[in-house]
Chains A and B, each alone.
Chain A
Amino acid sequence: MKFDTPATTNPIDQLKVVGKPTDRIDGPLKTTGKATYAYEWHDVAPNVAYGWVIGSGIAKGRIASMDLEAARKAPGVVAIVTAENAGPLDKSKRNAATLLGGPEIEHYQQAVALVVAETFEQARTAAGLVRIDYTPADGAYDLAAVKDKAEKTKDGDSVVGDFAGAFAAAPVKLDETYTTPDESHAMMEPHATIAAWEGDRLTVWTSNQMIDWMVTDLSATLKMPKDKVRVISPFIGGGFGGKLFLRADALLAALGAREAGRPVKVGLSRPLMMNNTTHRPATIQHIRIGATPDGTITAIAHESWSGNLPGGSEETATDQTRLLYAGANRLIGNRIATLDLPEGNAMRAPGEASGMMALEVAMDEMAEKLGMDPVEFRIRNDTQTDPADPNRPFSQRQLVQCLRLGAERFGWAKRNPKPGQVRDGRWLVGLGMAVAFRNNLLTKSAARVRLDQRGIVTVETDMTDIGTGSYTIIAQTAAEMMGVGLDKVAVRLGDSSFPVSAGSGGQWGANNATAGVYAACVKLREAVAQKLGVNSADAQFADGQVVAGNRRVPLAEAAGADGLSAEDGIEYGDLDKKYQQSTFGAHYVEAVVDAATGEIRVRRMLAVCAAGRILNPKSARSQVIGAMTMGVGAALMEELALDKRTGFFVNHDLAGYEVPVHADIPHQEVIFLDETDPISSPMKAKGVGELGLCGVGAAVANAVHNATGLRVRDYPITLDKFLDRLPAVG
């Protein structure tokens, strides 16, 4: 189905099932332990052997020698895979770092060997017996030190008007630099894969967000035909972008299984998560804003520097600044330098998550310079069109409504605009806010839908559910389209034998994958109508029946003994060129700071979101509060601590890499504006899973400033960065 004109009324608009806060249909499987995760497929691959990954002990250089003798002789060892015996391998275009390193080492804990043994314990023990001598080389590890060698990225700068002239002439100016650190996805389930060969065919049971990318990249890396690789990943214990790609677990499991001649399972240990896999790269962001005294922005510049391995991409931290605020003179661009750190790549809301942490603090600072309320300053600079192209409107932009409603619900009017004034016992109290913004991305997505003689509708698509609720919203979509209850819908996901979907990433999964299911259901409705000999436009699908004129036929009967099936997908025209599609929100945060110790705690949070039709308010809310939690982590504690001498992330476990725990997360409230966006898809929905993260960190930072009067422009905001500026303890 080609979607190239705005949606009109369609069966989804009935909202009998879609739009309801349905419990997740996969919930019981998960709470009873019956959902099978990657490492747990005990029955499908008999006689499995266990692989243990050895990571490089240096960040850059060469392996001088590798002594495998003791490991080979260790009890239970079946095989050892290294670059020497792995056979010829390619590198897929989505991987910057080589997944199996050696003799050249590109980053710390780059995988250099897989030890395969009869048991997990034997593999791990034998791995400890491998002796590797390295010849280290000098590397570049510190972004600040290589910043001046950075280059403009291939997209180039977005230049509108004359920034330099307008900024110089602006009566009120801000010129500040902000930094964000390297961050780790730290999802609950580490990367894990079971691989099994049958002749020249490979099956991997893994944990992956983008099934077709995985098939493509695994087959390319192994230099084998794509149709010989099957990927199965129905349940995923979190990914946050860390599982978008082929990683070492899947490649090494496949190589290990080939070498061992039997199935092999590989899970990455937690310490490997931080240095072996990908991370959100650190940024240095320079923001300049010029405005007239009434708060109208006349000039805005946002430049961001990040680093990566050769071939890796930049963190696109400035992209939202192209679209978020008006201003006639603009200079926006990303820069990239070469670093020999582990590969930087997508982590939830790549670009905006980091960029909004800087931009929205800059806006707060600017409002303060102008003596304006920060909410009003943002409203003053709202735009309903792409600031670089006035002929390109936003498909929907209810940012102002989000800001106003949020201010009212949160009690923003009670905020003392003068910082450092409100005290509650030992706590300094502050309120802060920030805008949420994230683009809505369109990408094609297909599904297959079957109707059987019991009246059961089965949906198959390689879409994934990374904890987001994909199973549930897809079931709601199919139920709505076919006029059945959720109990008559089965959803099967995460299998490369199913039609290729949008997958889970960039908050594009929900809208695109359900639109693909919508398309397949439209086709199935046509098949049902055709079978009944009625015009599909006249057929009503409701209550498990098809009604056409005077006829009323149960779906089960219409399906017949052989059932009916249909496959289709959604493809998009140029609506995302004619219109800018984005999602919007407003974050409000109350934070307190211990006047003596500088410890920061968040007391309450509110997000108001405008993100098209909300397919399931319950799972959408869960996405947003999870994102708000992640934003608290980014603001206050998350940082991969870099050893700049030797180039590795030192705090490589969950004791050292702190993420918020329950005690850190207070009352959270989420409000969704009642919105539909007919430009986005037949579902009229948009992404929401990343919107909730964008801007939260800045809202926390702004609340801390309101509490203390102090600015920290170097995330995370930890007490050591401002302790000496707090008033004396008295």
Chain B
Amino acid sequence: MRPFTYERADSPAAAAAAVERRPGAKFIAGGTNLLDLMKLEIETPAHLIDVNGLKLDTVEATPDGGLRIGALVRNTALAADPRVRRDYGVLSRALLAGASGQLRNKATTAGNLLQRTRCPYFYDTAQPCNKRQPGSGCAAIGGYSRQLAVVGSSDACIATHPSDMAVAMRALDATVETVRADGTTRSIPIAEFHRLPGDTPHIETALMPGELITAVTLPKPVGGTHVYRKVRDRASYAFALVSVAAVVQRDGGGRVALGGVAHKPWRVEAAEAEMPRGAKAVTAGLLADAKPTHDNAFKLTLVERTLASVLAEAKG
């Protein structure tokens, strides 16, 4: 871990300004991912701005019948929120499928969106990794890639995004709200928030330098049956091999997003039109451009089978 300086911010814009001022500065909230990465010197921020005191920790109703989730709402609190449980069950279930109780107590909504990949080569600083060290190459391609991406990957990176929460938010059409140093705000649809790796896998989101997430908003509830199915090698405390977030309506239509398959929560809206026809047709649309490795080709079958099971469960 490299030495760093530290300050507490007292407003969102001031926090953004503090990061913008200092090259190599980072926000810290729960720290469940950042601190681990700092110990391994995968992240080496020179300065940390602690945003925990910014009071962005409430869940509020929006005028249009949705919810506005403060950036600092802890995963445990969000999963337990009665409105989330009632109207956005897929989100509550996704949160509870992630990490452990202790980590969820600490992890924040914004931090969860900004988790970095769990690609094991990213975690070993003796190995080349374009995400960790741009231009150094990708050791995962041709290496051990069982957990890694099957779709949307590039010749530079086959990492996956590890979040469960973000997959549900993608299915729910959430919007990420931000503030910049000059106080300007913007709303980023979650579909545009996470990026595909392309040839710049180190740039993972649409955030500009210094831009701070203040909230995630959910549109008004869409009804339907909410399912989050996470497939993993052990029963708890493991990252998804694949996960399926689904909202299924009575007519068989609905929405589907996938975790564990791409550099971002994976959703192809056009494929959802096939939902009444079943999992095979939907999967064909979702994974049309898949380029799996030898190690992870099973994920294509697994997505289809898991989705079939989810759709059957939703039908009841």
Contact = CB atoms under 8 A, between A and B. Distances in A.
A643 B144 contact: yes
B309 A650 contact: no
Interface string A612-648: 0000000000000000000000001100011101100
B40 A271 contact: yes
Interface residues on chain A, size class: 35 or more
B6 interface: no
B144 A642 contact: yes
A642 B241 CA distance: 19
B142 interface: yes
Given A271-B40, A720-B146, A652 B120 contact: yes
A121 B39 CA distance: 9
A382 B312 CA distance: 48
Contacts of B81: none
Given A643-B144, A651-B120, A596 B308 contact: yes
A656 B229 CA distance: 21
A637 B306 CA distance: 20
Nearest to A128: B41
DSSP class of A's interface residues: helix, strand, loop or mixed?
A: loop
Interface stretch (B129-137, B153-161, B204-212, B232-240): B232-240
A426 interface: yes
Contacts of A75: 3
Contacts of B144: 641-643, 650-651
B302 interface: yes
Contacts of A658: 233-234, 238
Contacts of A597: 229, 231, 302, 305-306, 309
A599 interface: yes
A650 B126 CA distance: 11
Contacts, number: 106
A642 B120 CA distance: 12
Nearest to B237: A661
Interface string B265-292: 0000000000000010000000000000
Nearest to B310: A596
B10 interface: no
A650 to B, nearest CB: 4
Interface string B288-316: 00000000001001100110110010000
A183 to B, nearest CB: 14
B193 interface: no
B283 to A, nearest CB: 12
Contacts of A664: 234-236
A599 B231 contact: yes
A719 B231 CA distance: 10
16 contacts: A121-B1, A121-B3, A596-B309, A597-B306, A598-B305, A636-B233, A637-B233, A653-B123, A656-B123, A661-B236, A662-B236, A664-B234, A720-B241, A723-B302, A729-B305, A729-B308
A51 B120 CA distance: 26
Interface string A415-431: 00000000000100000
B101 to A, nearest CB: 11
Interface of A: 57-58, 75, 121, 124-125, 128, 271, 426, 594-599, 601, 636-637, 641-643, 645-646, 650-653, 655-656, 658, 660-664, 716, 718-720, 723-724, 726, 729
Interface string B210-237: 0000000000000000000101111111
A137 to B, nearest CB: 16
B104 to A, nearest CB: 15
A124 B235 contact: no
Contacts of B235: 601, 661, 663-664
A650 B305 contact: no
Contacts of B298: 719-720, 723-724
Contact of B1 (A125, A645, A719, A720): A125
Interface in B101-158: 118, 120-121, 123-124, 126-127, 139, 142-144, 146
Given A271-B124, A658-B238, A719-B302, 13 more contacts: A121-B3, A124-B1, A125-B2, A596-B309, A636-B234, A643-B143, A650-B121, A652-B120, A655-B118, A656-B120, A664-B235, A719-B241, A719-B298
DSSP class of B's interface residues: helix, strand, loop or mixed?
A: loop
A97 to B, nearest CB: 18
Contact of A661 (B40, B118, B234): B234
Q: Report the 8 A-B pairs with minimum CB-CB distance, sorted nearest first.
A: A57-B126, A596-B309, A663-B235, A720-B298, A663-B236, A729-B308, A650-B144, A641-B144
A553 B99 CA distance: 62
Interface in B230-254: 231-239, 241
A128 B301 CA distance: 42
Nearest to A122: B3
Contacts of B312: 729
Contacts of A642: 144
A597 B309 CA distance: 8
B142 A645 contact: yes
A723 B142 contact: no
A662 B102 CA distance: 14
Given A121-B1, A641-B146, A596 B236 contact: no
A652 B118 CA distance: 12
Given A650-B143, A729-B279, A663 B231 contact: no
B309 A729 contact: yes
B37 to A, nearest CB: 12
A597 B233 CA distance: 11
Contacts of A652: 120, 123-124
Contacts of B236: 661-664
Contacts of A595: 309
Contacts of A724: 298, 301
B316 to A, nearest CB: 13
